[in-house]
A and B are shown apart, each in its own frame.
Chain A
Amino acid sequence: MSMQAFYTNISANTVAEQLQSLLRITKASLEQVQAVRSELAWDSWGEAK
Chain B
Amino acid sequence: MPFVAIAYLIFLAAPVLLLFVGSFGEVWSGTLLPSGFTWRWYQEVAGDPSFRRAFTTSLKIVTTTCILNILIGLPLAYAIHAGARGGVRLAARIVTLMPIAVPELVLAFGFILVFSSDALPWLGSFWLLAAGHLVLTLPYTVTALVADMDQLGLAEYEHAAATLGASFPARMWDVTLPQLHTSLLSCMLTVAALSIGEFQLSNLVSGFLSRTYPVVLLQAFYGATGFACAATVVLLGLAMIASLTSGLTARVTGRRKVGAGA
Instruction: Say whether A associates with B.
Output: no
B-binding residues in A (CB < 8 A) = none
